[in-house]
Amino acid sequence: MNYEPSFTITSKILNLTILLCELLTKIDLNNKFTTIPKILRKNRIRTIRASLAIENNSLNLEQITAVINNKRILGNSREIQEVKTFIRLMKRLCNLMGLK
């Protein structure tokens, strides 16, 4: 049972198919690489929140995000300083380990 397509594969069809595959690959790669940093950032913020919650730090995810973005927030100055210190510590550890 050989399949016979109802059309003839021309060089134009073949070239357009190759171009389409290349474009789809680029789109797929672009989506993967743009979402990874966003996911990492969200996870980093959640890690900070969870680690500081153990020490009874009451700042929420939005407040921690604001501190990371160097924005002023209302909150206990000690808790804000804990977030800043934790961020510096994470950066130093990542540098020591050769990570971003």
Q: Delimit the domains of the chain by residue range.
A: 35-97
Residue type, 22: E
What tens digit of pLDDT does each residue of 78-87 get?
999 999 999 9
Angstrom distances, CA of residue 39 to CA of 2, 29, 34, 59: 48, 16, 9, 21
Instruction: Select from 5, 25, 28 the least CA-distant residue to 17.
Output: 25
> Does the predicted TM-score (pTM) go above 0.85?
no
pLDDT tens-digit readout, 5-47: 787 878 888 888 888 878 877 776 666 656 677 888 898 899 9
What is the per-residue pLDDT for 77? 95
For 9-19, the pLDDT digits (tens) are 788 888 888 88
